[in-house]
Structure 1
Amino acid sequence: MAKKMHPTPMLDELESGPWPSFVTGLKRLAQDKDYVVDLLGTLETSYRTKKGYWKGGTVGVFGYGGGVIPRFTELKNDDGTPVFPDAAELHTLRVQPPPGMHYTTDIL
């Protein structure tokens, strides 16, 4: 990991209970992925301010039943640049075929 971890005292609390925590998994991923370091910074900020900073929605993509779900950060500096630039945009490909239809590996 080239990027230093952001302080995450509230997320650290989620790791203190008896149950497995998603935070532990994200921190493990952050060792190799800079965007996960910034994702944890964004999440910590959201917990601290009690506000969600993601905007975006589903965009239909021809040929995919589910589509692409883009997320963009609204957490910006005064000059308009993202506070956590490596997690400024995240995109998820959701593959959910319509009932009765099946995807083959050739189609995907």
Structure 2
Amino acid sequence: MAKKMHDTPMLDELESGPWPSFVTGLKRLASEKDYMVDLMGQLETSYRTRKGYWKGGTVGVFGYGGGVIPRFTELKDEDGKPQFPDAAEFHTLRVQPPPGMHYNTDVLRKMCDIW
């Protein structure tokens, strides 16, 4: 990881409870991926301001229930550039296999590579 971690005191607080925290997983991923560092920065900003900064929609396959959920940041500086550029676009691939069919991780990874 080349990018320095953003200060995340509110996210850090979520790790202090008795239950496992998703923040621990995000930090582990952020040690390897710069876009996860910026994702944590955007999430911390959302927690601090109590506002969501994602816009997007759904690109689906009719009758399937799966597809891509595109998300784009609305957190911009005065020049209109993303405050957290490595996480400016953060999309979700939703897979819903037909009943009785299961995908292994190899197939899921190939789907992600295609996207």
TM range (shorter): 0.7 to 0.9
Q: Which residue of 2 aligns with 1:27?
A: 27
Separation in 1 of the partners of 2:31 and 2:83?
20
Query: Which whole-Å deviations, capped at 9, do the CAs of 1:48-93 have from their partners, x for residues lacking one?
Result: 0000000101112479641111000000000000000000001122
Q: Which residue of 1 aligns with 2:66?
A: 66
Q: Structure 1 residues 37, 65: CA separation in 2 closer, same or farther (over 3 Å shift)?
A: same
Give structure 2 stretches of 5+ with no counterpart.
none
Separation in 2 of the partners of 1:90 and 1:45?
16
Query: SS of the residue aligned with 2:90?
Result: strand
- Partner amino acid, structure 2, of 1:21: S
Q: Which has the higher helix share?
A: 2
Give structure 1 stretches of 5+ with no counterpart.
none
Q: Would you say how many aligned residue pairs link Structure 1 and Structure 2?
A: 105
TM-score (norm 2): 0.81
Separation in 1 of the partners of 2:75 and 2:11?
18
**Residue 80, structure 1, aligned to residue 72, structure 2:** no
Separation in 1 of the partners of 2:30 and 2:67?
27
Q: Structure 1 residues 17, 53: CA separation in 2 closer, same or farther (over 3 Å shift)?
A: same
Q: Which residue of 2 aligns with 1:49?
A: 49
Query: SS of the residue aligned with 1:55?
Result: strand
Separation in 1 of the partners of 2:102 and 2:31?
34
RMSD: 2.2
